[in-house]
Amino acid sequence: MKTKIINMYFDEQKKPIEIAKELQIPKYTVTRVLQKDNRYLEEKQKRKTINKINHINKTKEYIKRQRKIIQFENKVDNLILKKMQKQASLELSKGKKLSNIAYRNWNISAYSYDNVKKRFIFKSELGKSNDVPKYIKL
């Protein structure tokens, strides 16, 4: 039994808990047998170092993936904003007067829709200047 435990740990590179499950014995029995072997501490330290390196590498990969996701989302947001800015500059740079619908699209929060009259009505609590349309029909 002892030689099988030592063989599984050192040659097959199994963990003590895996050995215990496979042989159907308690884990503490496996560790007691392994602790009596003079190679155990060196092997344990080696495995610990490898696990630490693997953990660091996995963490780096996780961070890279998260950064790529954020960069992609930022690129998409930037594209949307650029498109909106381009559309706005086209509408505002025209030599003619801005249409009422275009004005309402730029001031959505200033208008509410009246279902009965089928038109947008400027909110009176905002105050109104002469160049702002009071009603916008569809």
Around Cβ 30, how many Cβ atoms within 10 Å?
25
Lowest mean pLDDT of 20-29, 41-50, 121-130, name the range.
121-130
Q: Is 132 exposed, middle or buried (0-12, 13-18, 19+ CB in 10 A)?
A: middle
Q: Give whole-number Cα distances, 79 to 42, 49, 51, 75, 84, in Å.
A: 56, 45, 42, 6, 9
Residue pair 8/20 in contact (Cβ under 8 Å)? The answer is no
Rounded to two decimals, the pTM is 0.48
Please tell me the number of Cα atoms within 13 Å of 40 on its side-chain side: 14
Around Cβ 19, how many Cβ atoms within 10 Å?
23
Q: pLDDT of 1-35, one tens digit each? A: 889 999 999 999 999 999 999 999 999 999 999 99
Distance CA 31, CA 11 (A): 16
Look at the alpha carbons of 99, 101, 105, 110 in this order and tell me if their dihedral is positive or negative: positive
- State the pLDDT at residue 94: 63
Distance CA 135, CA 65 (A): 50
